[in-house]
């Protein structure tokens, strides 16, 4: 029988660890303009965190597959120029690693593009497991992605936290039985996060470190 006795901190990627919102918005704006589709900034933001196929089907309707393919092509060309970590993220990950936490990323992005971003930022030095879109039968907001990451890290839900910026992250974490932390610098403001009743909401990484110290997670 496997022993599950490690403490884990799991993170969403887009809008949580990396500032990819400019990349996402610019890519959708460019591709939808090419296709003569109406681009609505707020509507696109409301979908961030869901699998790209679902987003494109929602925004593109019957042309969802075409939008998906155009999106991939355009994003691949500009990805590295429009992706950066949020301030202090590397230092936070390093601190958690030194404290003995097992660290993972749970994202609805495709593995190839998620790995590209993690390597670009250097997060691969700290992250032990990545659960991407292809790794589970049901993506966020269902529980499977977080549960798979915990299994990979040999951690119990009661000893884990999932940190994310969207309602889908909070819903996923709660279904998996872990503590949930909403961050205010991504796609969702305080009010939208409060509607999901996460365990806590933070405005900076120092508040995450303080939360973990107080909770004994």
Catalytic annotation present for 12: yes
Average pLDDT over the chain, rounded to an integer? 93
Over residues 197-212, the mean pLDDT reads 97
Read off the pLDDT band of 49 (50, 70, 90).
confident
pTM assigned to the model: 0.89
Higher pLDDT pick, 58 / 215 = 58
pLDDT in tens, 106-149: 999 999 999 999 999 999 999 999 999 999 999 999 999 999 99
46-55, 79-88, 131-140, 181-190: lowest mean pLDDT where? 46-55
Do the Cβ atoms of 200 and 190 come closer than 8 Å? Answer: no
User: Exactly one of 12, 14, 159, 169 is catalytic; which is it?
Assistant: 12
Do the Cβ atoms of 110 and 134 come closer than 8 Å? Answer: yes
Dihedral (Cα; 85, 181, 205, 25), 10-degree rounding: 30
pLDDT at 216: 67
Can you tell me the distance from the alpha carbon of 32 to that of 160, in angstroms, rounded to the nearest whole number? 39
The rounded Cα 93 to chain-centroid distance in angstroms is 15
Read off the pLDDT band of 186 (50, 70, 90).
very high
């Amino acid at each position: 029988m496997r022993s599950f006795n490690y403490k884990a901190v799991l993170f969403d990627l887009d809008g949580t660890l990396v500032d990819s919102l400019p990349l996402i918005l610019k890519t959708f704006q460019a591709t939808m303009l090419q296709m003569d589709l109406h681009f609505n900034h707020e509507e696109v933001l409301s979908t961030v965190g869901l699998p790209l196929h679902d987003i494109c089907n929602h925004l593109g309707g019957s042309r969802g597959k075409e939008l998906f393919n155009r999106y991939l092509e355009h994003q691949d060309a500009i990805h590295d120029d429009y992706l950066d970590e949020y301030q202090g993220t590397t230092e936070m990950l390093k601190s958690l690693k030194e404290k003995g936490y097992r660290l993972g990323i749970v994202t609805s992005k495709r593995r190839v593009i998620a790995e590209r971003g993690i390597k670009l930022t250097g997060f691969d030095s700290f992250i032990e497991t990545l659960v991407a879109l292809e790794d589970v039968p049901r993506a966020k907001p269902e529980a499977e992605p977080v549960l798979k990451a915990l299994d990979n890290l040999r951690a119990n839900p009661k000893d884990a936290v999932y940190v994310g910026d969207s309602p889908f992250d909070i819903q996923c974490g709660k279904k998996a039985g872990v503590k949930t932390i909403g961050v205010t610098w991504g796609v969702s403001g305080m009010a939208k996060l409060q509607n999901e009743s996460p365990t806590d909401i933070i405005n900076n990484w120092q508040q995450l470190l303080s939360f973990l110290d107080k909770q004994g997670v």
